[in-house]
Amino acid sequence: MGLRPDLNGRGLGSSFLQAVLEFARAGEKPARFTLSVAAFNQRAIRVYERAGFAVTWRYRHFSAGQTWDFLEMTRVEP
């Protein structure tokens, strides 16, 4: 998931994330949500943490000729 770059920094992240989670819940009743985010993407990480996600794993991924640090984040549903 991701916002169009021209919409970044406008405070839309939390409502966008909530809409994505509601859409996912409509088809299933998951016990948890898990996502991956580039470790350098601090704005997204803050949005996810405010929504109850926590880092569960750190790993490196090779893509486009470079190795990137990523975080896996999980949120347990109530």
- Residue 36's CB is within 10 A of a number of other CB atoms, namely 11
Location of structure tokens 């990137």: 68
* Ranges of each domain in the chain: 29-78
Instruction: Read off the pTM.
Output: 0.87
* Per-residue confidence in pLDDT tens, the chain, 78 aa: 888 888 888 888 999 999 999 999 998 889 999 999 999 999 999 999 999 999 999 999 998 899 999 999 999 998
62: helix, strand or coil = strand
Location of structure tokens 């809409």: 19
State the sign of the Cα–Cα–Cα–Cα dihedral 35, 41, 44, 46: positive
